[in-house]
Amino acid sequence: MSAGAAPPALAEPSERVGRGWTASLSLANGAIWAGWYGPIQILLALQAADVAPPGTSKESVLAWVTGTGAAVSVVSNPLFGALSDRTTSRFGRRTPWILAGVLGGAAALTLLASARTVPLMMLGWCLVQLTLNAAFAAITAAVPDRVPRLQRGTVGGWLGAAQILGVLAGTALATLAGGVTAGYLACAGFVVLATLPYLLRHKDLGLPADRRPPFTWRGFLAGFWISPRRHPDLGWAWLTRFLVNLGNALALLYLLYYLRDALHRPDPDGGVLTLTAVNGATLLGTVVLGGIRSDRAGRRKPFVLWAGVIMTAATVLLAVWQTWPGALCAAALLGVGFGVFTSVDFALMTDVLPAAAHRAKDLGIINIANSLPQVAAPALAAPLVNHLGGYRTLYLVAAGVGLLGAILVRRVRGVA
């Protein structure tokens, strides 16, 4: 490396990654989502019913545990991303945090399996969020570290597919393991085992110690603010992701109540399962294809825009065609649109990162646009349904929010 040249860890990648690298990183990504969603979908709810004190509802216990964990997640993702950006170990910047995160996550899931009180349950879940977010921040940053720009849509598509399959795997492990304790232990084992191929087969890029910036607390904390005035493309891209995710969260939040109260389905639980299966199938069918087509076209914004339009059309269907066939069509269209959006928007976000030196921290801040809508949606949805027109108003507002987000992607100037 010539004097003054950027080390490989900080250079813009130009060599395409192989299928083995993509497959093992995707498997590791799926493992993290399994570690999250086995508990979220099944285990935490069962455990909350067991540990809730007399006079306290299981719903309240679950809300406090998951809400506290979500707050930890919002903070820990950019924090561990920033720490991995500064890591100069001989194993690279990302590998130590992936390894520590999955081992810590497995230990936290094991602790959670033994929780018999609400405080211990809350502590265990917060530790799961803390540790698995450390691994997730590093896994996500590996893409802009190693993947050239015109391959990122494809890789993002495979990561999106792995996310969906990881959610299914975690749910299956939690359901089939044979109890809450066994479910947590099964998820813990899968998190570790599914991450090993990436850790053992692929060497990470190292950051020379002399290229690590000097540390001050003031500078470190100030780095978590990315000025939209200085980096307008990142600001508009973040807002696009936030609004599209908010529209999607509003559309899905009250689906069970919509089927029961608006469509009067005799089995609303089964209806939600059917709609989820339809949505998942169409999402899997488009998440990889959308990324590949975006790479081949060399463009991102048209794919994000039209994905948002398709999701808007699906949400409008829920408002104006309030029948079971309408709900099935809406679920299928939402999957098509969100599949394309998931892969192509991820590639777009990596294209507008301000600097290679703090990719993981910046991606952690971007990921807040995924988690914050889950907090905002309940606060917005309840008054819309209860006081401002019911489900028709809810879904029209969701459609408008998502469409606005998709249109705003046109304000991104540095990406085609």
Mean pLDDT of the residues in the chain: 90
Q: How confident is the model at residue 5 (pLDDT cuts 50, 70, 90)?
A: low
The residue-averaged pLDDT of 338-345 equals: 93
DSSP per residue over 95-162, as a string? HHHHHHHHHHHHHHHHHHHT--SHHHHHHHHHHHHHHHHHHHHHHHHHHHHHS-GGGHHHHHHHHHHH
Q: Does position 60 have pLDDT exceeding 90, yes or no? A: no
Angle of helix 118-146 relative to helix 58-85, nearest 10 degrees?
40
101, 132 contact by CB (below 8 A): yes
The residue-averaged pLDDT of 316-331 equals: 94
DSSP per residue over 324-335, as a string? HHHHHHHHHHHH
pLDDT digit string (tens) for 38-55? Answer: 998 789 988 998 998 998
SS3 86: coil
pLDDT digit string (tens) for 222-254? Answer: 777 888 888 999 999 999 999 999 998 888 878
Could you give phi then psi for residue 89, rounded to 5 degrees?
A: -70, 160
Dihedral sign, CA of 359, 361, 366, 370? positive
Q: How confident is the model at residue 59 (pLDDT cuts 50, 70, 90)?
A: confident
- pLDDT for 377 equals 81
Which residue has tokens 């029961």? 260
- Residue 26: how many CB atoms within 10 A of its CB? 23
Domains and CATH numbers, the chain: 15-222 (1.20.1250.20), 232-411 (1.20.1250.20)
Q: Does position 2 have pLDDT exceeding 70, yes or no? A: no
302, 347 contact by CB (below 8 A): no
Instruction: Give CA torsion, residues 361, 367, 369, 375, to 10 deg.
Output: -120
- Residue 285: how many CB atoms within 10 A of its CB? 15
For the chain, give the percent of residues with pLDDT over 70.
99
- pLDDT for 9 equals 83
- pLDDT for 383 equals 87
As a whole number of angstroms, the distance between CA 270 and CA 273 comes to: 5
As a whole number of angstroms, the distance between CA 401 and CA 226 comes to: 24
